[in-house]
Amino acid sequence: SSPKASNFLRQIIEADLASGRDAGRRFAGVPGDARQLAAAPLDTARIRTRFPPEPNGYLHIGHAKSICLNFGLAQDYGGVCHLRLDDTNPEKEDEAYVQAIRDAVRWLGFDWVVGGVGHEYFASDYFDFMYRAACALIEAGLAYVDEQSPEDMRRNRGTLTEPGVNSPWRERPAAESLARFEAMRAGKHAEGSMVLRAKIDMAAPNINLRDPAIYRIKFAHHHRTGDRWCIYPMYTYAHPIEDALERITHSICTLEFEDQRPFYDWVLDKLADLGLLARPLPHQHEFARLNLTYVVTSKRKLAQLVNEGHVAGWDDPRLPTIAGLRRRGYTPGSIRLFAERIGVSKSDSWIDYATLEGALRDDLDPQAPRAMAVLDPLKLVITNWDEVMGPGMLDDCQAPVHPHHPEWGLRRFKCGRELWIERGDYAQDPPKGFFRLFPGNRVRLKYGHVIACTGATLDADGQVTEVQAMLVPDTKSGTPGADAVKVKGVITWVAAADAAPAEIRLYDRLFTEAQPDAGGRDFLAALNPNSLRRVQTWVEPGLAALPAGTSVQFERHGYFVADVRDHAPGRLVFNRTTTLRDGRGA
């Protein structure tokens, strides 16, 4: 593969490595981690990144960008990337999501087990530490329990142009805050009655520094810590601590966290001053999130599509979830290639869905076996077949499994008197420049003979129900003199006596608008009513034994995959992954 393009994150990392900034950083495992000793040899990791999903939903293509970025940078610079389940928000989290996240990261080709040590961590493992750190901040006069109502707290926060107003609880003695905080933890206070806040500056121009809340009361069951806690740390307080405990060097997040960076640094700096965290401390760097046209990438909106039945589940092939892309036929290599091509930048933009499809074609073209399939079948009868080939005879045909890999061998199939061809390959009244079948014209059956169209049968509505043609003797593809008869058109086909029946699911975009949820619009209004069309049709016989999950190129049509859920020998089901060229539909 080509050398990776540089970007601002690579430049930062290279400068940091050159400066030796992180040389003194030691990682001997996180607090309470039984694997501490085993992890010690990994102290030599030159950089340490993390991918920190919240286990509250399925990962999507945006997360894939972050996975490729964080794991990719660690790989390229002799580092380690941690898989961190950021489970500080108990209500919506679940163990099932944790498993799905692990599967998605591994499927993309990345691993958090390095040198035999599994770098999988849970934010909830640090709850004790976070609590102790909060107590230390209170004792140092850097945090206080605020008992204002949520409305007063919001109002007193000020605005972009107005400074905030100090809480009447701001100057209460540390001992009093500490006692209150302990009572909060003991479950003695109601949700919303008080919060723990960092004491910074209610007049700070950056609103995120106006005494942000760091702990709130929540009587919620946690999927890992059960009912042990009824107070939970805020993400903005928890995240820098998680990074520091894991000795992350480069904490890479999306641009919307840029305004949080001063608080990120405040937490780390204060806790390091208090001797609770070791220097050098992690640095946060922001990059532009992925916005992809014709999809939505918000867990909440994806959940709505699934829960309201607009799609068939989290792995519906129309969804940009990793599970959906996988079922659609996207390969791990295609997604990594896509991530590499879009790069990383500091300014938000939209990436055209065609870029993702282009990466898929480039990944599959050199490796997908070829086959013929008919998507919109129309019967063709070769009226002189019995005369030329012999009554009831079938003719052996062959084609390369892949045009650029002769060593992969040949596929074999039959030609016969009755074939299935594409409805679109016949025209009763051909438009100018149409070189396929129409009465009087000759075309080649790909890998077979030349045929001359003699006519067609139409039903009462003028619909073509059958096409007739005559075989031109001595024109069989691959035989001497086959090219003596010149034709301008070549069509794909399968023999009625030989083809395997299959269901083909023709997927199209889920939304009819490029930015279905831009500007807070109702994205459901932009749902494409024709995003799935199922056809019962015919494919080359060799596909009958194709294992589920295998990708194949149907010649002239595009890339398809044997559906991982529904395809089985004897019941063939293919999903269209993408067409052969840019542009929509088959």
Q: Is 289 in the site for ligand ATP (CB under 6 A)?
A: yes
- Least spacing, CB of residue 422 vs Mg ion, in Å: 44
Angle formed by the axes of helices 332-342 and 61-76, nearest 10°: 80
489-491 vs 410-415, strand pairing mode? unpaired
Cis peptide before 369 (omega within 30 of 0): no
- Least spacing, CB of residue 56 vs Mg ion, in Å: 8
Map residues 379-418 to x or -, x wherever contact with Mg ion holds by CB under 5 A.
----------------------------------------
Q: Which residue is nearest to ligand ATP (CB)?
A: 62
Q: Is 93 in the site for ligand ATP (CB under 6 A)?
A: no
Active site residue 54: yes
Active site residue 289: yes
The rounded distance, in Å, linking the Cα atoms of 68 and 384 is 58
Phi-psi region of 163 (alpha: psi -120 to 50; beta: other; left: phi over 0): beta
Q: Is 297 in the site for ligand ATP (CB under 6 A)?
A: yes
The rounded distance, in Å, linking the Cα atoms of 294 and 510 is 7
The rounded distance, in Å, linking the Cα atoms of 339 and 335 is 6
149 binds, among ligand ATP, Mg ion, none (CB under 5 to 8 A by kind): none
One-letter identity of residue 475? T
Map residues 34-63 to x or -, x wherever contact with ligand ATP holds by CB under 6 A.
------------------xxx-------xx
User: Residues comprising the binding site for L-glutamine?
Assistant: 86, 235
Active site residue 299: yes
Count Cβ neighbours within 10 Å for each residue of 438-467 and write b for 16 or more, e otherwise. bbebbbbbebbbbbbbeebeeeeeeeeeeb
**Count of residues in the chain:** 586
Per the CB < 8 A criterion, the answer to whether 241 and 130 are in contact is yes
Q: Which of 180, 199, 299, 328 is catalytic?
A: 299
Per the CB < 8 A criterion, the answer to whether 471 and 382 are in contact is yes
Considering only residues 221 to 260 of the shown chain, the ones binding ligand ATP according to CB under 6 A are 253-254
The rounded distance, in Å, linking the Cα atoms of 216 and 194 is 7
Q: Which of 48, 54, 210, 261 is catalytic?
A: 54
User: Candidates 168-176, 289-297, 349-357, 563-571 — which segment interacts with ligand ATP by CB under 6 A?
Assistant: 289-297
Considering only residues 65 to 84 of the shown chain, the ones binding ligand ATP according to CB under 6 A are 65-66
- 258 vs 386, which CB is nearer to ligand ATP? 258
Per the CB < 8 A criterion, the answer to whether 498 and 414 are in contact is yes
User: Residues comprising the binding site for ATP?
Assistant: 54-56, 60-66, 254, 289-290
Q: Which of 10, 46, 92, 289 is catalytic?
A: 289
Q: Is 99 in the site for ligand ATP (CB under 6 A)?
A: no
Q: Is 54 in the site for Mg ion (CB under 5 A)?
A: yes
Residues that bind ligand ATP (CB under 6 A): 52-54, 62-63, 65-66, 253-254, 289-290, 297-299
Active-site residue set:
54, 289, 299
The residue ranges that bind Mg ion (CB under 5 A) are 54
